[in-house]
């Protein structure tokens, strides 16, 4: 299970690069396989289309059970709305024994989950430092989660003054959710709350937008976008979105000044 980070290959950790290099078979969604192809040599490549997640996982598991070294790739971090959970879910549903490669125990296949730079960290880095305080990650995809659950979570996140990271804000078939989120958040938060929108972080076509909550839906978003809505303390300074951690207030309160 290999995480590719946001914008390969400069953002893929060496452990993941080694796993790709050592793999006999590389399995993944076509778009990401294309981006990672410069790193591949003689590996067999199995690329599948969108919405073929279950098929892709099954294929990777079958190959691994047959004794091949398989790299199943996932963009960002495989463990955050990625493919790592599906492999484990399917393995569990099929009663398979899985375990980390460093243990001797008898298993149907060994599994290493190699983490990566998640989209929320890549996006935050391009925006400045919006995630310096407590935050929530919420996916707006209601294909697998009832919309009422998503709405409830957004309400609670606003009540708690969390920074809010929205994954999957929009797709071709889902175009109304982000407007609904804006309406919901505007009932609880200041219209001028800073909002950052990052698409295709660290890869071709990257865009970074600084806006405010009342203007959120005037900006282009798609499935390769994350949206970061600030908390009540978040501010912008030059090109940066900043959520203060509280150090400066603390040091000022102690009369130590900014220079500490």
Window 111 to 170, contacts with its own copies (CB under 8 A): 113-118, 121-122, 124-126, 128-139, 143-145, 149-150, 152-153, 156-157, 159-162
How many residues touch its own copies under the rule CB under 8 A: the total is 92
Residue 56 host element (H or E): helix 53-65
φ and ψ of 63, to 5 deg: -65, -40
Q: How near is the Cβ of 244 to its own copies at its closest, in Å?
A: 5
Q: Which of 90, 180, 184, 186 binds its own copies (CB under 8 A)?
A: 90
Number of H helices, E strands in the chain: 8, 14
Residue 241 bridge partners (DSSP): 128, 236
Q: Does 206 bind its own copies (CB under 8 A)?
A: no
Q: Which is nearer to its own copies, 71 or 80 (CB)?
A: 80
**Taking a C-beta distance cutoff of 8 angstroms, is the pair 227, 210 a contact?**
no
Q: Which of 100, 179, 191, 192 binds its own copies (CB under 8 A)?
A: 100
Pairing of strands 109-110, 98-99: parallel
Q: Does 29 bind its own copies (CB under 8 A)?
A: no
Site string for its own copies, 52-71 (x = CB under 8 A): xxxx--x-------------
Residue 239 bridge partners (DSSP): none
């Amino acid at each position: 299970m290999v995480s590719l980070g946001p914008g390969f290959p400069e953002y893929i950790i060496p452990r993941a690069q080694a796993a790709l290099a050592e793999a006999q078979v590389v399995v993944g969604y076509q778009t990401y396989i294309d981006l990672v192809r410069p790193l591949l040599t003689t590996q067999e490549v199995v690329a599948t289309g969108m919405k073929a997640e279950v098929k892709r996982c099954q294929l990777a598991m079958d190959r691994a059970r047959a004794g091949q070294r398989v790299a199943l790739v996932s963009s960002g971090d495989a463990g955050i709305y990625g493919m790592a959970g599906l492999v484990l879910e399917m393995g569990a549903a099929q009663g398979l024994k899985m375990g980390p490669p460093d243990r001797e125990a008898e298993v149907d296949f060994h599994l290493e989950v190699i983490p990566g730079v998640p989209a929320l960290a890549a996006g935050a880095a391009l925006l400045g430092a919006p995630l310096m305080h407590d935050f929530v990650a919420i996916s707006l995809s209601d294909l697998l989660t009832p919309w009422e659950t998503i709405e409830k979570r957004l309400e609670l996140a606003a009540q708690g003054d969390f920074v809010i990271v929205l994954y999957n804000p929009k797709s071709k078939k889902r175009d109304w959710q982000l407007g609904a989120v804006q309406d919901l958040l505007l009932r609880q938060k200041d219209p001028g709350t800073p909002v950052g929108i990052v698409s295709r972080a660290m890869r071709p076509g990257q865009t970074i937008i600084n806006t405010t909550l009342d203007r959120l839906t005037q900006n282009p978003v798609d499935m390769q976008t994350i949206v970061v809505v600030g908390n009540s303390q978040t501010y912008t300074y030059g090109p940066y979105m900043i959520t203060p951690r509280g150090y400066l207030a603390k040091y000022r309160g102690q009369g130590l000044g900014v220079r500490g």
